[in-house]
Structure 1
Amino acid sequence: MTEYYNPLISGFHPDPSVVRVGDDYYIATSTFEYVPGIPIFHSRDFETWTRIGHVATTAEQLGVSDVQTAGGAWAPTIRHRDGVFHVIITVAMGRGMLHFTATDPAGPWSAGDVILNAAGTASVDGIDPDLAWDDEGTAYVTYSALVLTGEDVGQHRGIEQVRVDLDTHRALEEPRSLWSGTGLKFPEAPHLYEHGGYWYLVIAEGGTERGHGMSVARSDSPAGPFVGGPGNPVVSARSTSRPIQNTGHGDLVEGPDGWLAVLLGVRPTSMTQAFSALGRETFVTPVRWVDGWLEIDPVELNPRRGTAVFSDDFDEPEFGLDWIGVRRRPDETGSLTERPGSLVLHADGSTLDDSRPVFVGLRQEHLRAAVTATFDVSAGVGGLGVRYDERFHYEIEAGRGRIVARASVGGIRQEWTRPFSGASVTLHLDVRPDETPGIGGTSDTVVLGATIDGERIDLAEVDGRFLSSETTESFVGRVIGVYAVDGTVAVDRVAYEGSED
């Protein structure tokens, strides 16, 4: 068995789903409130993955323009049938359960059709939908029945299923209960597979935190009844000291040299493995079919070594695929044509405390990272920040006669300032892993600084644990980007260097 990299796709890339088409593999992941949404990654060897496009290129396709934090694009499933790629997803607190199609996974994708209930009056009420077809071509949508609307909002009915007409996007029946796991909390992320004469239902349960895991049941029919397997959960890191925790929410595929599961996990640090700076990432682990049941290996850490380098001088008229915005596209907050060779940001009264900041960002994908951005702040105030959500963010900004480093943690704010009268400045945001021995460690340290007249000056070193998934509970991960809060600022260059060493 090939030893694959783990993380397979690092940084904020949770809830992975995978499909194989010939010798090509495609993965889709969740994006919550960020736009463009639902990235598609491609590989031919299951080692090198390239982002080739997004399913949703606008906030309107998902309905996330005003979605609350932790809502948005949850847990896609990607499948392929008769030359057409399908993605089905629930946009929580947004448009509901949606079905997208494309003949090219790089896009363009369809606008997204709502999967209606049998009455045709509303979206099917649930999350983490799976799409599968039986031998007659009947489409089955299997989902986690978390109620998102109405007077029963927040209730959970386990794993349910409906047959769907994908031409009219309407359920052909009332929801049926399938199998809801072994009794652990929050059965979710169902996927159906036909293999060796059986239909297998793989789900996640135990919650997406330390108790997360995957369990399996099987049936003679995609509609059930399903019987749980003898070894459930088939994968979990709960109550272990493995470097990858929260393993679950997986999808199966036949890889280059054997079956594999892609699944989410986190890499917590500190002595008690308490803080996961990068949030939920995509991992991979081998799978075997033994005596008609599923066996999944524990997820092993195998990070990519060396230094990854990314830079953008903003010489192109369009944003690259790595750039994302908060509840709106990058080109809705920044222009690449107004001043060729620069990204121009016009403040609109928002700050990083707001749900729709003037912010264009990149995912932090390494435990050690150094990001620099060169600004012209002669006509405004802007900066370089790292964001988990509008309540948890750190930033360094310049303009209007000063440089400010700031930490915002759940309503608590601290600032460090120094005078600055120039127009051009290079700002720095460094992430350094914690090396504190014994009790008292944290995830990492975020250093906020500026280069002024050729000399780098660090204004603040901030504890990174407050920008971790365990602290914020936002489901996402760190996004580092540039922003404007007053007037107009121009960004001439952004450079990112990251490593796991």
Structure 2
Amino acid sequence: MPYSNPVLPGFYPDPSICRVGSDYYLVTSSFQFFPGVPIFHSRDLVHWRQIGHCLERESQLDLEGCKSSLGIFAPTIRHHDGRFYMVTTNTNGFRNFFVWADKPEGPWSEPVWLDWPGIDPSLFFDDDGRVYLTGTGGFLGNEPLGIYQAEIEIDTGRLLSDRKFIWSGTGGKAPEGPHLYKIEGIYYLLIAEGGTEYGHMVTIARSDSPYGPFEICPGNPILTHRSTDSPIQATGHADLVETEDGSWWAVFLGIRPAPFMFRGLHHHLGRETFLAPVSWSSDGWPMIGDAGKAALTMDAETLPLGQAAVRPPAKDDFENGQLPFYWNFLRNPAEGSWTLDDRPGWLTLYGSAPSLDDAGAPAFVGRRQQHFDCAVSAKLSFDPVKDGEEAGLTVYRDEKFHYEIALAHRNGTRKVILRRRVGSLWKVELEEDYDASEIVLGIEADASRYSFYFASPGGERKTFGFGECSFLSSEVAGGFTGVYFAMYATGNGQPCSTSAAFDWFEYIPTNE
């Protein structure tokens, strides 16, 4: 039976997976967004439902002042002896830690801090009771670049041995994202190389010892889309899982460059999670996908594809008293910056001094763009009275690359504005007087541009400018994240004197 890739569309990079019986659990990186490390559940590896976050308290995840594309890098999830473990790096301070939980939904523990430099930590539980911490070192130039490993005490995180350099990869740049497995008595070390761009790849080596020396797979790379015209690019950073029937599968990140006449110039949805089967050669080497390649449609003969697809609802009316898991804040939200209680059935934001141009925590509630073609709209009630006060919708990549359509107070008048920030260029492209305090704001996206509009509630919509998708891509903006659609409010340097309330928010894929 065929299935479609990506299995997690939108900004869900660096996937890691584990199986407990017939249940699969998957986590991804979250960078500067909060809560951190979304966790998903599936019974068939294809259809995933988010069940929470591993890092949902500020005591677990401090993102104050976190620069864009820093924060949480490359988590690994593992299950051992009835307990779940998630280990990761907070690059906002460059500290490695793990948290644990008895149930994947949580609650997850406070961080167990590790005396461990570098990034991309992974845990391996050997069948003799030893536990190994494997990670990437040397990227700051203070030691040889490559993969390091040590034995740890899992109850405390204390290192039981010195860090040992175990592999530098096959010669590609940025050897990283290691995972160690023991399969039929042999230790396999899986890593990513080539950098998380178009030269990305997955390589593997094996040994009779967890510390090596490692024999390099003659078929490396076992996954790469470099120098191909595939609609999937930059494949890498994989993790392996064995199903109940003994078949093997890989989850990994990839990108989908925008599918229009200049395909390949940019990708703006972010690095996404893909799935492919793993085959094994007669001499015990794995290969991911079809000779190291994946496709948008693949076959899943060994998977029980009976699970229904799980999608967030198209329209969120904020009636349930809590935000669904797919909503994120930008860094740790300021206390009192949002509530669902002040006006039941509305999301209320209290704008403060930080703006979307800052590495701070503006009042911001957003969800990932997951489709090239989609429509977003929201109903806003806002009565700004001082210049600088504004609230609306943003198409947000980071603090230097974003577009907004908003209701704002400018030059003593309430206006609808369209603003674009592209690097050091910042301009209010359009503005129009608007007398009422309630407004419907909308964004329509295709693979090449965003179209903005507004309307009075129940009135006719008015098209209000455009913004190119390419300016919000990694090829232009840099970094490791993807586009968010978000509701926001800000006083642009001062607290807002009035709140901004959103009655509903709608996200509709338009070309499926």
Secondary structure of the equivalent of 2:440? strand
Q: Distance in 1 between matches of 2:311 and 2:83?
A: 37
Indicate whether 1:252 and 2:240 are aligned: yes
| 1:256 Cα deviation from its structure 2 partner | 6.1
Find the partner of 2:395 among 382, 386, 390.
Answer: 386
Q: 1:256 to 1:407 in 2, by over 3 A?
A: farther
Find the partner of 2:508 among 484, 497, 500.
Answer: 497
Secondary structure of the equivalent of 1:243? coil
Q: Deviations over 1:412-469 (max 9, x none)?
A: 1232111111111000011112xxxxxxxxxx20111101361111111111101112
Instruction: State the partner residue of 1:406.
Output: 419
Contact 2:59 2:110 in 1 (8 A): no
Instruction: State the partner residue of 2:302.
Output: none
Structure 2: segments with no counterpart, 5+ residues: 299-307
| 1:381 Cα deviation from its structure 2 partner | 2.5
Find the partner of 1:286 among 263, 266, 277.
Answer: 277
Q: Distance in 1 between matches of 2:234 and 2:190?
A: 16
Instruction: State the partner residue of 1:163.
Output: 151
Q: Deviations over 1:144-202 (max 9, x none)?
A: 11456xxx56x662111011112221112221011111111000010111112211000
Instruction: State the partner residue of 2:304.
Output: none
Q: 1:156 to 1:264 in 2, by over 3 A?
A: farther
Q: Distance in 2 between matches of 1:58 and 1:248?
A: 30
More strand by share: 1
Q: 1:171 to 1:370 in 2, by over 3 A?
A: same
Q: Distance in 2 between matches of 1:286 and 1:339?
A: 49
Amino acid at match of 2:131: A
Contact 1:307 1:497 in 2 (8 A): no
| 1:328 Cα deviation from its structure 2 partner | 1.4
| 1:60 Cα deviation from its structure 2 partner | 3.4
| 1:287 Cα deviation from its structure 2 partner | 0.4
| 1:255 Cα deviation from its structure 2 partner | 3.4
Instruction: State the partner residue of 1:373.
Output: 378
**More deviation in 299-308 or 86-95?**
299-308
Instruction: State the partner residue of 1:213.
Output: 201
Q: 1:156 to 1:6 in 2, by over 3 A?
A: farther
Q: Distance in 2 between matches of 1:82 and 1:305?
A: 31
Amino acid at match of 1:73: I
| 1:65 Cα deviation from its structure 2 partner | 1.9
Q: Distance in 2 between matches of 1:73 and 1:57?
A: 13
How many residue pairs are counted as aligned between the two chains?
Answer: 479
Indicate whether 1:463 and 2:462 are aligned: no
Contact 1:31 1:37 in 2 (8 A): yes
Q: 1:279 to 1:492 in 2, by over 3 A?
A: same
Secondary structure of the equivalent of 1:495? strand
**More deviation in 52-61 or 250-259?**
250-259
Structure 1: segments with no counterpart, 5+ residues: 117-123, 434-443
Instruction: State the partner residue of 2:305.
Output: none
Q: 1:306 to 1:144 in 2, by over 3 A?
A: closer
Q: 1:159 to 1:285 in 2, by over 3 A?
A: same
Amino acid at match of 2:256: R
Find the partner of 2:174 among 165, 172, 186.
Answer: 186
Instruction: State the partner residue of 1:263.
Output: 252
Q: Deviations over 1:284-340 (max 9, x none)?
A: 111012121111121101399999752111112221111100111487521100111
Q: Distance in 2 between matches of 1:331 and 1:318?
A: 16
Q: Distance in 2 between matches of 1:273 and 1:204?
A: 22
Q: 1:406 to 1:255 in 2, by over 3 A?
A: farther
Q: 1:186 to 1:239 in 2, by over 3 A?
A: same
Contact 2:151 2:159 in 1 (8 A): yes
User: Which consecutive aligned stretches of 4+ in structure 1 deviate over 6 angstroms post-superposition?
Assistant: 303-308
Find the partner of 1:417 among 427, 431, 445.
Answer: 431
Secondary structure of the equivalent of 1:365? coil
Indicate whether 1:174 and 2:183 are aligned: no
Amino acid at match of 1:386: V
Q: Taking structure 1 as the reference length, what is the TM-score of the superposition? A: 0.92
Quick one: percent identity of the two aligned structures? Answer: 41
| 1:485 Cα deviation from its structure 2 partner | 1.6
Q: Deviations over 1:184-224 (max 9, x none)?
A: 10000101111122110000000000000000000011121
